[in-house]
Structure formats: C-alpha cells, structure tokens
Amino acid sequence: MHYRTFYLYLSIVLLAGCSSATDGNVDRGSDPQPRGERVLAVDVNEAEGESYDAVVNRANSVGANTFSLSIGWDDIETAPGIYNPAVDLLAIANSYYPTRNASVALMVGPVDTNNDRLPSDLKGKAFDDSVVVNRYKRLLDYLFSKIPDLDLAVLAIGNEVDFFLANDLEAWAAYKRFFDETSSYARQLRPGLNVGVKVTLAGLRGVRKEEARVLNEKSDAILTTHYPLNADFTVQDPSVVDADFDQVVELYPNRSIWFMELGYPSSPVCNSSEEKQGEFIREVFSAWDKHRGKIDYISFGIMSDRSQGAIDELSRYYGLNDQIFLEYLRTLGLRTYPNGGEDKVSWAVLKEEAVKRGW
C-alpha cells in the first residue's frame, strides 16, 4: 500500500475506533484482583549500552517471562525456496529463550502494518493464490525445524493486517482463506499451538469490523494491538482504556483476547507526559481486573524509548515523517534511552500494579 493511502486509512480507522473518556460512574473494580492465569509480558528492547540479558532480567522482575519476536516473511525466504536470513533470529531464539524458561510470542508475517512482506517473486499475487499458500506452508516447515526447543505462546500470521488490507474487500476475503489454510497447517506441525492474526483494536471495532470478525473465525485467540491515539497521533485521555476494554469484550464475548501490543507515548509533542503514561498503566490494570477471564494476555511496550537512529529507520519503513507520529514511536518506552536508560514514572507504576496482583 502506498504510504499516502496508508495515512488516509489510518486516519479513517483511528477516527472510527476512537472512544470517549468514561464518565466516572463505571465500576472499575478498585480492589486489585489476583493474577490468576493471566499473562503479563513486556516488549523488551535495549537502552543505550544495555545488554539483552539485562532487559530480560528487568522484565522478569515484574513477573514478565514471555517475549515478542517479529519477522517478515521476506527476511527469511530470500529467494524461492531459499531460507537465508541475514540474521538467524529463529536459531538465536531457540538457543536463548529455553535457557531462561521463557516463552515467545512469534509473528512471521506476509503483512506487517502497511508493509508487504511477501518474497519478491510473490508480490502482486493474491494471498489465497495456491502458490502463496503452499510457499508459506513450506516456510512453516522451515520455521518449526529451526525452533524445536522454543516454547511458543502464540504464532501470529501477520501483524496489524487491517492497515494493509484497508477497504479492499477482496483482499480481506483472500487473506482469510490464506490464514485458514496456513493456521491449520501450523497446528498440524505443532499440535496445541495457539495461532492467530494481529488486527488493531481500531480495526476490530471500526469500519471493517465485520471483515475482522470473519477473519478471526478460525483463530485460537483474538490478537490485537492498541495505542489510544487521536487521528493526529496525539494521545487520548488514559481513562478511555476502560471503555476500550469493554468494547472489545462486547465484540468478542466468548473468545480469549490477547493484547499483543499495548502502549502510550510520554512525549509532550503528543500532548502526553510521563505522568499520563503512568496513569495509562494504572487504567490498564484496573480494566484488566474487570475483564479477567476474558483478556488473557497483555504485552506492554516498549521497555525503553527508541534511539533517533531507530526512529529514522522506522520513518523510512512506514513511509511517514510526521513529527507527532515519530515522537509517538520514540517515547513509547517505560524507560528512557540514553546512558543505559532510567525508569520513567510508568515503569514504577507497572512494578507496583504487578506486585499488587501477585506477579
């Protein structure tokens, strides 16, 4: 999708998915509830000069032991039937995470938000083309051969696919057929595996909510991402979280819901602050308590703010150089980036709220 089309669709879907702040009369369950079977995760990344072991240890300190790994299909399959990634992330994950008794939420995508990640020779083909489907099945053969020891919490076949599919109803239908076939094959290769497809919360409840519902018919969980933003990338009030959670549970009352990404920037450019980011964390835990047994997994992110170099790369990747958008991406961290990072208000709040519930 061309970035201008992406930007237009982004505006439409954010506006359609925006909620208003609650009126304060909703029972949010003020008493913290025991963690139970809920899974708390943190999307870890290193601050300046920090080791990966250090950030994993920090995540463990708040009870998080599931970690995210996202890979584009074309990063692995570099030529037809040739699997030659520049960095063998699957092998690294298979050797590292079992030593930490950690699980991984893995995304291997033909789509990553507004990016087409099909191998170059497949670009332009429909997702349900038999060649595309069969090639992804061979990719899955390769994938599982590389991670025999890795505990997978979930496999996501595509990330925020609603942005890419946009308003193309034929593409939605084709992606559903692709997902149904490939998810079934993944479960054959690893029985008991949770398989789903990541759709933004705005996508689940917005103009294409029926297409999203149909796409999720054969998923094992509703995988979603959420950043409470206005269409210009400024933040909504943290109190919207309660209504946001209410709405997704109402839409999918009998399904397990997983927030694969849940974040809130702290930059004043986004009309935010460290204090508002911390309040967002409190609102999330309160709303999660209210919907325990429905919302089973939340991954907060990211651990630390991103470097300017990382932001420059993401600007090129998404095809957007809007200052507010880039500040949103840069300041999603619960800690700062420079000099090994320092805790923000939000990290202290995360630790406090997790401890209250037994993590």
> Phi/psi of residue 277, each to 5°?
-65, -40
Quick one: pLDDT band at residue 27, thresholds 50, 70, 90? very low
Q: Are 102 and 36 in contact (CB under 8 A)?
A: no
Rounded Cα distance, 71 and 115, in Å: 12
Quick one: pLDDT band at residue 18, thresholds 50, 70, 90? low
Q: What DSSP line would sit under 37-70, residue for residue?
A: T-EEEEE----TT--HHHHHHHHHTTT--EEEEE
Domain that holds residue 146: 3-16+31-356
Residue 23 lies in a domain: no
Q: Are 245 and 253 in contact (CB under 8 A)?
A: no
Rounded Cα distance, 125 and 134, in Å: 13
Distances (CA, A) of 277 to 155, 270, 308: 29, 11, 21
Rounded Cα distance, 83 and 86, in Å: 10
Q: Is residue 12's pLDDT more than 60?
A: no
Distance of CA 95 to the CA centre of its chain: 23
pLDDT of amino acid 301: 86
pLDDT of amino acid 161: 98
> Phi/psi of residue 23, each to 5°?
-90, 5
Q: Is residue 13's pLDDT more than 70?
A: no
Question: Model pTM?
Answer: 0.93
Q: Is residue 313's pLDDT more than 80?
A: yes
Helices (H), 166-300: 169-189, 201-205, 209-215, 240-251, 274-290
Residue 131 lies in a domain: yes
Residue 347 lies in a domain: yes
**Domain of residue 299, CATH code:** 3.20.20.80
Mean pLDDT over 46-56 rounds to: 97
Nearest to 285 by CA among 3, 15, 92, 30: 30
Name the one residue in this structure whose structure tokens are 């309660």.
242
Q: Is residue 30's pLDDT more than 80?
A: no
Residue 346 lies in a domain: yes
Query: What is the percentage of the chain residues whose pLDDT exceeds 90?
Result: 91
Residue 26 lies in a domain: no
Residue burial 48-57, b: 16+ Cβ < 10 Å; e: rest: eebeeeebbe
Q: What is the pLDDT of residues 162-221, one digit of tens each?
A: 999 999 999 999 999 999 999 999 999 999 999 999 999 999 999 999 999 999 999 999
Residue 25 lies in a domain: no
Rounded Cα distance, 91 and 5, in Å: 36
Helices (H), 129-239: 130-146, 161-165, 169-189, 201-205, 209-215
Mean pLDDT over 122-144 rounds to: 98
Length of the chain (residues): 359
Give the bridge partners for 200, in sequence order: 225
Residue 344 lies in a domain: yes
Mean pLDDT over 68-78 rounds to: 98
Mean pLDDT over 150-162 rounds to: 98
Q: Is residue 3's pLDDT more than 80?
A: no
Mean pLDDT over 135-150 rounds to: 98
Rounded Cα distance, 68 and 55, in Å: 13
Instruction: Give me 268's structure tokens.
Output: 């004043």
Task: For strands 82-83 and 103-109, give the pairing.
Answer: unpaired
Rounded Cα distance, 212 and 226, in Å: 15
Torsion of the alpha carbons at 233, 323, 275 and 310, rounded to the nearest 10: 110
Instruction: Give me 32's structure tokens.
Output: 């913290």
Q: Is residue 75's pLDDT more than 50?
A: yes
- Provide the domain count of the chain: 1
Q: What is the pLDDT of residues 244-298, one digit of tens each?
A: 999 999 999 999 999 999 999 999 999 999 999 999 999 999 999 999 999 999 9
Mean pLDDT over 312-327 rounds to: 95
Q: Is residue 21's pLDDT more than 70?
A: no
